[in-house]
Copies of this chain bind each other. A is one copy, B any other.
Amino acid sequence: MATNASTSSPLRIAIAGLGTVGVGVIRLLGTNRDLIAARAGRAIEVVAVSARERHKDRGVETGSYAWEDDMTALGARDDVDVVVELVGGSDGPALALSRAALKGGKGLVTANKAMVAHHGLELAEAAEAAGAPLKFEAAVAGGIPVVKGLREGTSANALTKVYGILNGTCNYILSEMEETGADFAETLSEAQALGYAEADPTFDIEGIDAAHKLAILAAIGFGAKVDFASVATTGIVQVRAADIAQADALGFVIRLIAEADVQDEDGTPKLLQRVRPCLVAKGHPLSSVDGPTNAVVAEGNFSGRLLFQGAGAGDGPTASAVVADLIDIARSEVGAPFSMPVDQLQALGPAQPGHRTERTYLRFTVKDRPGVLAEITAAMRDADVSIESLIQQGREHGGGEVLVAMVTHEGPEANVTEALALLEGSESLTGEPLVLPILPA
Contact = CB atoms under 8 A, between A and B. Distances in A.
* 4 shortest interchain CB distances as A-B pairs: A145-B153, A156-B323, A303-B320, A143-B303
A154 interface: yes
Interface in A148-176: 148-149, 152-158
Contacts of A158: 31-32, 35
Nearest to A345: B38
A144 B306 contact: yes
A290 to B, nearest CB: 9
Contacts of A295: 307
Interface residues of A, number: 61
A156 B336 CA distance: 21
A311 interface: yes
A334 interface: yes
Given A32-B301, A41-B340, A304-B310, 10 more contacts: A38-B223, A40-B155, A143-B303, A152-B328, A155-B324, A156-B322, A303-B311, A303-B320, A303-B321, A307-B307
A310 B306 contact: yes
A309 B311 contact: no
A6 interface: no
A317 interface: yes
A306 B309 contact: yes
User: Which one of A24, A306, A316, A326 has the highest number of Cβ atoms from chain B below 10 Å of its Cβ?
Assistant: A306
Interface of A is mostly: mixed
A35 B223 contact: yes
A201 interface: no
Nearest to A299: B310
Contacts of A156: 28, 32, 36, 319-324, 326-327
A180 interface: no
Contacts of A148: 145, 148, 152-153
A22 B398 CA distance: 66
10 contacts: A24-B302, A32-B301, A36-B156, A38-B223, A41-B341, A145-B149, A148-B152, A155-B328, A288-B288, A308-B308
Given A32-B156, A303-B311, A340-B39, A334 B335 contact: no
A303 B316 contact: yes
Interface in A29-53: 31-32, 35-36, 38-41
A283 B179 CA distance: 14
B340 A28 contact: no
Contacts of A10: none
Interface in A107-161: 143-145, 148-149, 152-158
A318 to B, nearest CB: 9
A178 B35 CA distance: 42
Contact of A302 (B320, B332, B340): B320
Pick from A40, A145, A322 the residue with the most CB of B within 10 Å: A145
A330 to B, nearest CB: 10
Contacts of A155: 36, 39-40, 323-324, 327-328
A153 B322 CA distance: 10
A4 to B, nearest CB: 17
B303 A157 contact: no
Contacts of A381: none
A314 B283 CA distance: 23
A306 B320 CA distance: 11
A245 B22 CA distance: 50
Nearest to A298: B310
A333 B152 contact: yes
Most chain B CB within 10 A, of A311, A314, A335, is at A335
Nearest to A27: B302
A317 B340 contact: no
A339 interface: yes
B157 A320 contact: yes
